[in-house]
Structure 1
Amino acid sequence: MAAEGFWDLVRRRAELSGTRPMLFDERDGSLTFAGFHERAERVAAALFAQGIGPGTRVGWQLPTRLSTVLVMAALARLGAVQAPVIPMYRERETGSAVAASAAEVMLVPGTWHGFDYAAMARGFPQRPRVLTIGVDAPESADTAGLPAAPGPSGDTRWIYFTSGSSGLPKGARHADGSLLAAARGFTVRSGLGSQPDDVGSMPYPIAHIGGIVYLMTALLGGFPVVLVEAFDPAGTAEVFRRHRVTTTGGSTVFYTALLAEQRKRPPGDLLVPSLRLLKGGGAPCPPSVFHAVRAELRATLAHDYGMTEVPMICVASPQDSAEQLAETEGRPIPGNQVRIADGEDVLPPGADGEVQVKGAAVFRGYTDPAQTAEAFTADGWFRTGDLGHLRPDGHVEVTGRLKDVIIRKGEKIGPVELETLLVGHPAVAEAAVIGLPDADRGERVCAVVTLRGDVRPTLAEITGYLREAGLMPQKLPEQLEIVDELPRTGLGKTSKPALRRRFAADGV
């Protein structure tokens, strides 16, 4: 479906599929595509009456609700600049996001999950005007006074935030076009909407960049989406069963949570019988998780590769081979080019180097021009900071992060290799491998794991397991830490800086 922006996409889908369902939520709320278009215009009228119009910079920190999706569409209808902030952020991170986006207005849910977002927003030095958006969005019937709908533009319409080296979020600027390019590539490669009974779901924060890309995908594919305000494996699975959800995702932490819930049930009693496809990205996914999803959830896991700056770099197709799905992140989407580089040298297939991207889905730069200059090569390629290689079959395999490489006695160690092996241990649920300062070695290898049950493996047992798996002795962990849960940032990504601070501070 041809469309030039988010609002144009909303309008065109309403014309094509007006009576078909678009959104469901946990409160039994629902909207058709036509109903969504009509209600979004009324929300736009209410926000316009509050002084929000073309070019207004609006930050919002809202849960995954019908009212939030209506607000997103309404702001797009008005031509405002949106700066979504993930609800888990607090004063330091949210304040930095408000400053980076120069938000004039801040939309918040009031008090949600026991936290007063309105009080926090009123305390920021920038003093944005604070409006509360509850379960129901404000609406006005006076839509005749709305300004003209925005036409096609390459201007920044969205500012999304990603963690910087200081721990404070960096503002990545997107136009509608870069997000639409990502959504089109995802829709085509994933095949979403190609089956008449396709029902999608969003169990992750809609303020993440995956939120707008998935909404655009649903509009492009013409399939409904079930919104989940706060992910809880047991409760969310019940919602999925009720609405016969066929595809879900988010990131690896969502896959493993569903697997853990499935393992509580008798063999053959599927958690979500209608489920056939898991999609997501934002964090590495070990091959063992792919095989477990296929064997236990009876679904296909087609894990993708993207980041805030380029929401979809590569997308895996459900039609890919099992080996490709387990071992790679898919192929570059149409409109994206991917190369592997070592400094100024472009490397051949099979050689590990930095993954660099150029194309329609790449962001327009950061809100800080200095950060933008550092992020791009002289010839205009975005430096992802990821290590990986191109395979002869055109698929990309990500092997680590440049900043995550551990240098122990001069030997470079990639944490992803160890993490992939560790989650195959019967006692280990999740694993993160970090380097910690060491006077003798430069860095020592520390494995941080969560457990599947009550069995607590020792360091000797873990290293023995890794030796049997064929890991060279120079890469074996010298420290094992067992935690209840791994710290998260964004869409379930493990926060390795938080782990380094914790265990370096312990002086272990």
Structure 2
Amino acid sequence: MRTTRHETARELAASRTLWELVERRAARTPDRPVLIQAAADPADDRTLTFGALRERAERVAAGLYGMGVRPGTVVAWQLPTRLETALLSCALARVGAVQSPVIPFYRDREVGFALRESKAEFFATPGVWRGFDHREMARRLGARGVFEAYDALPDADPAVLPPPPAEGTSVRWIYWTSGTTSDPKGVRHTDRSLLAGGSCLAHALRPTESDVGSMAFPYAHIAGPDYTIMLLLYGFPAVLFEHFTLPDALDGYRRHGVTVAGGSTAFYSLFLAEQRKLPPGERLIPTLRLLAGGGAPKPPELYHAVVREMDCRLTHGYGMTEVPMITMGDPDDTAEHLAKTEGRPPDGMEIRVTGPAGELLPPGTDGEIRLRGEAVCRGYVDPAQDAAAFDTDGFLLTGDLGHLTASGHLVLTGRAKDIIIRKGENISAKEIEDLLHRHPAIAEAAVVGLPDPERGERVCAVVERRPGAAEPTLEEVTSYLRGEGLSPHKLPEQLEVVEALPRNETLRKVLKYRLRERFTPS
């Protein structure tokens, strides 16, 4: 009886470690491509096969071993999305080191914090990248064991290596939360927790060997191993973009026939904006069949606009640094589910929705989302943070608000800190944002609460104007929202029109704290 690709993927997902998965995939399809580096000049494109990934990563592992990297050694790396980054990460998994990826756009404050908290013994940098000298920053920070890993990697005979790790339950990954309002948190993961997250993504999207994916986000993000695990499970390649900008990256998508693209909500909006520049009937990426991502709420109107105008499907999921994949939309779900929910959890992911006292709430009732399962992190580098993050049953308290539907789909309604309390009434910022995204003059919107001496907080809408549209006024916006049925007490009392909403450099999330800082009267 012939084994299907889904059966093969589920068998591979039982791998105990990431390195075991690399070896098992390489044994099955050694000559198939896994990573394709897109360059500005097509002649400079580079391709790595599954077999070459295993062989070269093992040589890099031997080189690292010769430098003094041993099982359990903490190695931080701050590298862009390149073949070499994937090779270094797999090599560290082969050695059994503890790796601490750092987003390449981070600077002294975040990098210094990560190096100190992780107690990194080695630090891999890209040297000078995009005009910034990472070597000089490493010197300023007093980093130990600094080496460059941009276009050359350590190399030696694998015969010097000890056996690879035999189990995947030890903490071997430290990822860092964004730290937009305070110091970042060091999130501790195992190979098995990352394999569980990547498996969720893979089984939800059900890719085929003929698909071509894409990584336009930082490989150092938790989505890096998530996506790589999907490639290893299903045996298809992805195109890497070292620095993603549109329209510059479009040639790479078209040249390599990308069928699955995305990253986050902001990526959908960026692609849609480029699509709208084309004549009717012309597709932005002719081979594209699916946009997929997560990392931020998805307005229902954006879903409908993408499907209608880009002629592809869109599936959105829910994940975070602590749990790389929690739920994912199914391409075969109804349009209603795909537009208005974050999908369903995979087997093994338990979701509780709880009230103020931790009581379990029934389907359809909003509360705090709590999670338990193999994909959940093993706590934080600072153990003092664990007590506030987990309940007595071992569920992670996400701080996200939402509810489960009768069909088991998850609906996010906002963050606890995104609830605006006006005259004692709770107002969901997301509810207003979803409506604003449907306004013909508004391209993007973020709603925040600002201090108000009479109301406690007032509702402030900050929007980007759609190209070619007249600048909206507060009166027009509130009139529109009334027409959409929004309750009067939720209407914005302040409107700010900006050139661009402030976003982070990973999945382009809106930095609401900056909006509060900017528009709160001094």
Q: For this structure pair, what is the TM-score category when the shorter chain's length is used for normalisation?
A: over 0.9
Q: 1:187 aligns with which of 176, 190, 202?
A: 202
Matching of residue 367 in structure 1 with residue 381 in structure 2: yes
Q: Which runs of 4+ in 1 moved over 2 A?
A: 135-140, 163-167
Structure 2 equivalent of residue 272 of structure 1: 285
Structure 2 equivalent of residue 139 of structure 1: 155
In structure 1, C-alpha distance between the alignment counterparts of 2:350 and 2:216, rounded to whole Å:
30
- AA at the equivalent of 1:374: A
User: What SS class does the counterpart of residue 234 from structure 1 fall into?
Assistant: coil
Q: Deviations over 1:482-506 (max 9, x none)?
A: 12222223321111112111222x5
In structure 1, C-alpha distance between the alignment counterparts of 2:381 and 2:439, rounded to whole Å:
43
Structure 1 equivalent of residue 366 of structure 2: 352
Check conservation: 2:478, 2:491, Cα contact below 8 A. yes
Q: 1:87 aligns with which of 83, 100, 104?
A: 104
Structure 1 equivalent of residue 49 of structure 2: 32
Q: Deviations over 1:220-248 (max 9, x none)?
A: 11110110111112122210111101101
Q: 1:309 aligns with which of 322, 328, 338?
A: 322
Q: 1:379 aligns with which of 393, 409, 428?
A: 393
Structure 1 equivalent of residue 7 of structure 2: none
- AA at the equivalent of 2:37: D
In structure 1, C-alpha distance between the alignment counterparts of 2:352 and 2:277, rounded to whole Å:
43
In the TM superposition, what is the alpha-carbon distance from 1:184 to its structure 2 partner?
1.1
Structure 2 equivalent of residue 392 of structure 1: 406
In structure 1, C-alpha distance between the alignment counterparts of 2:141 and 2:73, rounded to whole Å:
18
Q: How do 1:100-249 and structure 2 match up within 5 A?
A: 100-125=117-142, 127-140=143-156, 142-164=157-179, 166-192=181-207, 195-249=208-262
User: What SS class does the counterpart of residue 462 from structure 2 fall into?
Assistant: strand
In the TM superposition, what is the alpha-carbon distance from 1:165 to its structure 2 partner?
7.3
In structure 2, C-alpha distance between the alignment counterparts of 1:421 and 1:47, rounded to whole Å:
53
Q: Deviations over 1:328-363 (max 9, x none)?
A: 000011110001001221000000000111111100
Structure 2 equivalent of residue 23 of structure 1: 35
In structure 2, C-alpha distance between the alignment counterparts of 1:165 and 1:439, rounded to whole Å:
26
In the TM superposition, what is the alpha-carbon distance from 1:54 to its structure 2 partner?
1.1
Check conservation: 2:180, 2:511, Cα contact below 8 A. no
User: What SS class does the counterpart of residue 219 from structure 1 fall into?
Assistant: helix
Structure 2 equivalent of residue 478 of structure 1: 493
Matching of residue 338 in structure 1 with residue 351 in structure 2: yes
Check conservation: 1:488, 1:494, Cα contact below 8 A. yes
In the TM superposition, what is the alpha-carbon distance from 1:166 to its structure 2 partner?
4.0
Q: How do 1:405-444 and structure 2 match up within 5 A?
A: 405-444=419-458
Q: 1:458 aligns with which of 465, 473, 477?
A: 473
In the TM superposition, what is the alpha-carbon distance from 1:164 to its structure 2 partner?
4.5
Check conservation: 1:68, 1:137, Cα contact below 8 A. no
- AA at the equivalent of 2:510: T
Check conservation: 2:294, 2:318, Cα contact below 8 A. yes
- How many residue pairs get aligned? The number is 502
In structure 1, C-alpha distance between the alignment counterparts of 2:310 and 2:118, rounded to whole Å:
41
Structure 1 equivalent of residue 62 of structure 2: 45
User: What SS class does the counterpart of residue 385 from structure 1 fall into?
Assistant: strand
Which moved further from structure 2: 323-332 or 129-138?
129-138
Q: Deviations over 1:140-177 (max 9, x none)?
A: 3x111112211113111101111357422101100000
User: What SS class does the counterpart of residue 247 from structure 2 fall into?
Assistant: helix
In the TM superposition, what is the alpha-carbon distance from 1:187 to its structure 2 partner?
1.0
Check conservation: 1:100, 1:170, Cα contact below 8 A. no
In the TM superposition, what is the alpha-carbon distance from 1:257 to its structure 2 partner?
0.3
In structure 2, C-alpha distance between the alignment counterparts of 1:162 and 1:479, rounded to whole Å:
31
Sequence identity percentage: 54
User: What SS class does the counterpart of residue 86 from structure 1 fall into?
Assistant: coil
Normalising by structure 1, what TM-score? 0.97
- AA at the equivalent of 1:135: D
In structure 2, C-alpha distance between the alignment counterparts of 1:238 and 1:168, rounded to whole Å:
38
Q: Where does structure 1 lack aligned partners over 5 or more consecutive residues?
A: none
In structure 1, C-alpha distance between the alignment counterparts of 2:151 and 2:275, rounded to whole Å:
31
In structure 2, C-alpha distance between the alignment counterparts of 1:157 and 1:279, rounded to whole Å:
28
Check conservation: 1:312, 1:333, Cα contact below 8 A. no
Normalising by structure 2, what TM-score? 0.94
Check conservation: 2:58, 2:94, Cα contact below 8 A. yes
Q: Deviations over 1:44-67 (max 9, x none)?
A: 122222222211101111000001
